[in-house]
Amino acid sequence: MSDLLPALNGRYGDHPDAVRVGGDSISWEGLRGRAMAVGGRIAGHHAVVVEATPTLDTVIAIAGALAAGVPVATVPGDAGPLEREHILRDSGATAVVGSASFETALPVVALDPGDGGEVALPEPAPDSAALIVYTSGTTGLPKGAVLSRRAVAADLDGLADAWSWTPDDHLVHGLPLFHVHGLVLGVLGPLRVGARLTHTVRPTPELYAGAAGTMYFGVPTVWTRVCADTDSAQALRQARLLVSGSAPLPVPVFDRLSELTGHAPVERYGMTETLITVSTRADGERRPGWVGLPIEGVQSRLVDDHGDPVVHDGETVGHLQIRGETMFDGYVSGGRADDFADGWFVTGDSAVVDSEGFHRIVGRTSVDVIKTGGYKVGAGEVEAAILAVPGISEAAVVGVPDDEFGQRVVAFVVSDGVSAAAIDEHVGALLTTHKRPREIRLVSELPRNAMGKVQKSKLL
């Protein structure tokens, strides 16, 4: 494990609370002992699942899987039953590590606070799978992206370079531990760089202000909320770097945050499949609305509908494609080739690039991929949950622009007498919380084109 996470090998000394999650903390040596011990109990498993609630136990369970070289899939603590069962099955997991709030036929390998000491485990191969992270597509259930140790290491090294991230840093955030942002950057990042971590459990302005970090991570919704709380925002003046990502940071939020904290935020762009690939730099220009340059080890290109290069004039929009060391290995269920064009990963994002190579993300190619509070939500998955409610004949889900969440999930439903409240209750029991429509609008019909296809643009 020390090749991937050198802080756990004593390379950077130690702190009694090197990793803190809410009220619980642990030293790096303590975390290594706990991880090695649980790793020893799961070694040889095909894959494991961790219910990634914001707890220190989640960090220990994931570190244990990494120590054992067993790929670990993360399940949201509030996952709907369909999504959870899908992840348990699709990941090929043969055990759950830590506690599980759900019923499962798989063995549950418990964590033991008495664990520690030295359990020797061989260093897993750099090309072996580290994580299986689920991300939504336009239709169907989420897909599990397999991320190798090599890709994770390359990404964290590229980001450490871009952000001048060193052992002197103390990272603070409260992002979910089942996605790339909170888990790869937010937990494995400090363990690779040798920086302390405080996870605040929830990403609230007050908790950020009280944590006295040098670096802070947030999705744009978090920064919008920080800006609305002047006292908390001003407490961040003592920080070194504020980083935003997972969705576009609105320019007024960038400006207000700069004004209140004295720090122009660093904005970075990425995807579960590619990890974080483009960023502004701690030692470079931080331009509102722009996400900067490819990090070390990553290349980008901009192409038109025919795959021909698009001019880098800062204005002409093209399809953004990525390649490099941070790339995923494929989806655990198979399938990867469709997502590539001549070896370049097709991101599904539209962008412009200027003559200096600075990138601006313009939007998604598909209206069926919604970003709400930094979470990706596939319209098709939500529509399927709504259509499972008896008495519903048609449903169309869209992302409506929203000042706080970027987009909010809104469902247009043709219902045979079923009320919006009843639909919400039914769907709420099936779906992970952030995928639930915030609004359900009952309509008599959906707008369709001559081919019978729903015209979602008319619903926005």
In eight-state DSSP terms, residue 433 is: G
Name 217's bridge partners. Answer: 243
| Straight-line distance from the first to the last Cα atom of the chain, in angstroms, rounded to the nearest whole number | 48
**CA dist list (Å): 338 to 334, 342, 380:** 11, 11, 19
Residue 70 vs 440, nearer CB to ligand MLC: 440
Residue 221 binds: one of ligand AMP, ligand MLC, none (C-beta under 5 to 8 A by kind)? ligand MLC
Relative to beta strand 72-75, strand 48-51 is parallel
In eight-state DSSP terms, residue 79 is: -
Q: Please report whether residue 245 would count as binding ligand AMP according to CB under 6 A.
A: yes
Q: Please report whether residue 361 would count as binding ligand AMP according to CB under 6 A.
A: yes
Which of these, 371, 378, 397, lies nearest to 250 by C-alpha position? 371
Residue 203 binds: one of ligand MLC, ligand AMP, none (C-beta under 5 to 8 A by kind)? ligand MLC
Q: Please report whether residue 245 would count as binding ligand MLC according to CB under 6 A.
A: yes
Residue 364 binds: one of ligand AMP, ligand MLC, none (C-beta under 5 to 8 A by kind)? ligand AMP
Structure tokens at 346: 């097709």
Residue of 74, 135, 407, 432 interacting with ligand AMP (CB under 6 A): 135
Q: Please report whether residue 232 would count as binding ligand AMP according to CB under 6 A.
A: no
Tell me which residues in 339-358 interact with ligand AMP (CB under 6 A): 347-349
Residue 179 vs 426, nearer CB to ligand MLC: 179
Identity at 341, one-letter amino acid code = A
Residue 25 binds: one of ligand MLC, ligand AMP, none (C-beta under 5 to 8 A by kind)? none
Q: Please report whether residue 216 would count as binding ligand AMP according to CB under 6 A.
A: no
Mask of contacts with ligand MLC, 222-241, x by CB under 6 A?
x-------------------
Q: Please report whether residue 374 would count as binding ligand MLC according to CB under 6 A.
A: yes
Tell me which residues in 395-454 interact with ligand AMP (CB under 6 A): none
Work out how close the CB of 212 gets to ligand MLC at its nearest, in angstroms, rounded to a whole number.
21
Structure tokens at 55: 């707890």
Geometric angle at alpha carbon 93, from 89 and 95, rounded to 5°: 125
**CA dist list (Å): 274 to 94, 253, 297:** 26, 26, 12
* DSSP collapsed to 3 states, 85-132: HHHHHHCCCCEEECCCCCCCCCCEECCCCCCCCCCCCCCCCCCCEEEE
φ and ψ of 341, to 5 deg: -125, 115
Q: In the complex, which residues of this chain contact ligand MLC (CB under 6 A)?
A: 175-176, 179-182, 203, 219, 221-222, 245-246, 270-272, 276, 373-375, 433-434, 436-438
Q: Which residues bind ligand AMP (CB under 6 A)?
A: 135, 180, 245-248, 267-272, 291, 347-349, 361, 364, 371, 376
